[in-house]
Amino acid sequence: MSDSQQTRAQQLIGDFAPKLVDLTDRVLFGDVWEREELPPRERSLITVASLITTGSTDQLRGHLARARTNGLSETELKEVIIHLSFYAGWPKAMSAIAVAKEVFAQAE
């Protein structure tokens, strides 16, 4: 399988932690993200908020891009970060906004 055909998890850690890749691809993105009880837009909003509050900026990069694909605007995502600055903490919000700036610049 070429790199372009591999999932992001396969590209990042496939040969190092194949079981984690399997759970990520099959359970998280193959089942949880596909459940019909919440639309992808709301799942993205929840995920981005969770990643911001936990300071998980490495995972935030991909999920900001996914959130855009799932219908959230750049303005809405910036507003999420601003809103969470008072709940998650200023340093986490500043780190998240720096990541968002990079991700949105790459999308242009």
Which CATH number belongs to the domain containing residue 61 in this structure? 1.20.1290.10
The domain in which residue 88 lies consists of 39-108
- Mean pLDDT over each residue of the chain, to the nearest integer: 93
Q: Is residue 30 pLDDT above 70, yes or no?
A: yes
Q: Say if residue 103 is in the same domain as residue 58.
A: yes
Phi and psi torsions of 15, nearest 5° = -80, -15
User: Do 52 and 86 share a domain, yes or no?
Assistant: yes
My answer on whether 63 and 19 are in the same domain is no
Task: State the pLDDT at residue 35.
Answer: 95
Are 71 and 106 found together in one domain? yes
For residues 27 and 46, state if they share a domain. Answer: no
What is the chain's Cα-based Rg?
15
pLDDT at 97: 98
Domain count, the chain: 2
- Specify whether 7 is located in the same domain as 48: no
Verify that 43 and 18 share a domain, yes or no.
Answer: no
Instruction: Say if residue 64 is in the same domain as residue 97.
Output: yes
The predicted pLDDT at position 46 comes to 98
The predicted model gives 53-80 an average pLDDT of 96
Q: Which residues contact 98 (CB under 8 A, 6 or more apart)?
A: none
d(CA 27, CA 86): 33
Q: Assess whether 49 and 85 both reside in one domain.
A: yes
DSSP letter, residue 49: H
**What is the pLDDT at residue 8?**
83
pLDDT at 1: 56
Q: Specify the pTM.
A: 0.87
